[in-house]
Amino acid sequence: MKINTSSLTFKIFMAMVLGLFVGLLLRLGVSETTDLVIPLGLFDFSVKAVIVDGFLHAGGQIFINSLKMLVVPLVFVSLVCGTCSLSDPQKLGRLGGKSVLLYVATTAIAITIALTMAIILQPGVGIDAQPQSGFVAKEAPALVDVFINIMPTNPISSMAKGNMLQIIVFALLFGIAVALLGKEGNRIVTFFEDINKVIMKIVSILMNLAPYGVFCLMAKLFTYIDLGAIGALAKYFLLVVVVLIIHATVTYSLILKAFTGLSPVIFLTKMREAAMFAFGTASSSATLPVTLNTATKKLGAHNSTASFTVPLGSTINMDGTAIMQGVATVFIAQFFAVDLTLNDYLMVVITATLASIGTAGVPGVGLIMLAMVLQQVNLPVEGIALIIGVDRLLDMIRTAVNVTGDCMVTCVIAKSENELDETVFNDTSATK
């Protein structure tokens, strides 16, 4: 296979590897509590303050902020464009129904695989781990509130807070209204289409910053990460990773092939870039501009489908998160020697699937929602403190799976609506 060394994907990958090594090097002298101070005559140079918490921290955060900056305008504008170009008004209901169904079904499959493998492989038996002290479980939001909050009371405040579901609802209503206006709405359609082009242009400009941003994020992460915790929790860690890989490669390939006949290999290859962004940022929400770009420009899904399914997926579809929650629940039950019944497992499947809908696409939220799953089957919430040490790394991997799932479902739905350009999908060099 010929590797294109000038491609962005390659550059991001190299930046990731380089960041990892620089982080491992820096940790020889710097940690949360220690610093490497180099006396320079006139002043002392603190590697921790200047390099790690200074440059690397700033570089990583600027990169993440730049992506987040685009999320709200991008979702709103592209969804309005997608909705007002709908020729068939019933399509929206169909799209909504199909996407929610597929997103929920893939999540339920993910957690079922996770539970089955964890029950067989018993990651929580005979491990020697201590709950991290000082951990206080945050309260997970009540499920009914998750549903009530879908309806915005003030769309400007929804946008200011970045509440994705509320933005989706408002954008859909706005788009439908424009479509219903018919000819009178034409001016606003053109306006939104132009803005959409501008925002997508900003996305491609900012994507070029990714190698630097990812380098900074990885280097800082590996300076501070607790590698010892991974050793102690190796069985749990590896099991989550294996299930994530199985789900992303086997489950997604089977569903894609069965529903669309498209090549899973091409699909997975084209997901590389978005998966790397997700890995680097650990946030499906921050990755959204790249996911949408991948779905439309590389996978060939039409904007009127993708602008709806991708933001929705980045909010409600968290297969990777559900996998972690499934393995973690069995792990914690085994650690505390609690026997779960078949009913309990069923409860875990249902709550974790619903929890995944309520999980925001930002780092670490999956762990907070795990509290809800544990409470449902009467397991000690403090169990979360056992696995928190390895969660950041798992968060990065599961976020990559989350966005892959969003794109897979988008392909299936686009194909079923006759809105998937297969020439673009099959063109391995397609970027535009």
Q: CB of 106: closest distance to ligand ASP in angstroms?
A: 14
Residue nearer to ligand ASP on the CB measure, 294 or 304: 294
Query: Which residue, 358 or 366, has its beta carbon nearer to ligand ASP?
Result: 366
Tell me which residue of 9, 51, 2, 1 sits closest to 298, measured CA to CA. 9
Please state the closest distance from residue 105 (CB atom) to ligand ASP, in A. Answer: 18
Q: Which helix (H) or strand (E) holds 46?
A: strand 44-46
Residues contributing to the site for ligand ASP (CB under 6 A)? 282-284, 318, 321, 359, 361-366, 395, 398-399, 402
Q: Please, which residue, 196 or 329, has the CB nearer to ligand ASP? A: 329
Contact 315, 239 (CB under 8 A): no
- Minimum CB separation from ligand ASP for residue 62, in Å? 19
Angle CA(400)–CA(201)–CA(269) in degrees, nearest 5? 35
Smallest distance from ligand ASP to CB 371, Å: 12
Cα–Cα distance for residue pair 388/368, rounded to 1 Å: 10
Cβ neighbours of residue 127 closer than 8 Å, sequence gap 6 or more: 232, 233, 235, 236, 335
Nearer to ligand ASP, 80 or 369 (CB): 369
Query: Measured from the CB of residue 285, what is the shortest distance to ligand ASP in angstroms?
Result: 6
DSSP assignment of 147-169 equals HHTTS-S-HHHHHHHT-HHHHHH
Residue 317 to residues 92, 341, 405: CA-CA distances in angstroms? Answer: 19, 27, 7
Structural tokens at position 272:
């590389």
The set of residues, in sequence order, having a beta carbon less than 8 Å from that of 123 and lying 6+ positions away, is 235, 236, 239, 327, 330, 331, 334
298 or 398: CB nearest ligand ASP? 398
The CB density around residue 36, as the number of other CB atoms within 10 Å, is: 15
Beta bridge partners of 99: none
CB of 381 to ligand ASP, least distance (A): 16
Q: Could you tell me the smallest distance in angstroms from the CB atom of residue 362 to ligand ASP?
A: 6
The continuous run of DSSP H or E covering 45 comes out as strand 44-46
Per-state percent for the chain, helix, strand, coil, to nearest 5? 75, 0, 20
Least CB distance to ligand ASP at residue 143 (A) = 17
Rank residues 158 and 287 by Cβ distance to ligand ASP and give the closer one. Answer: 287
- Looking at beta carbons, which residue is closest to ligand ASP? 366
CA-CA-CA-CA dihedral for 80, 82, 86, 89, to nearest 10 = -60
Q: Rank residues 365 and 413 by Cβ distance to ligand ASP and give the closer one.
A: 365
Question: Please, what is the minimum distance in Å from the beta carbon of residue 314 to ligand ASP?
Answer: 7
Q: Which two tokens stand for residue 407?
A: 């794109």
In the block, residue with structure tokens 């989350």: 402
Residue 366 CB, nearest approach to ligand ASP (Å): 3
Q: Round to whole Å and give the CA distance between 88 and 65.
A: 37
Contacts of 51 (CB under 8 A, 6+ apart): 26, 30
Closer residue to ligand ASP (CB): 123 or 405: 405
CA distances from 351 to 261, 332, 335, 347 (A): 32, 16, 21, 6
Could you tell me the smallest distance in angstroms from the CB atom of residue 360 to ligand ASP?
7
b/e map of 218-252 (b: 16 or more CB within 10 Å)? Answer: bbbbbbbbbeebbebbebbbebbbebbebbbeebb
Least Å from the CB of residue 194 to ligand ASP: 30
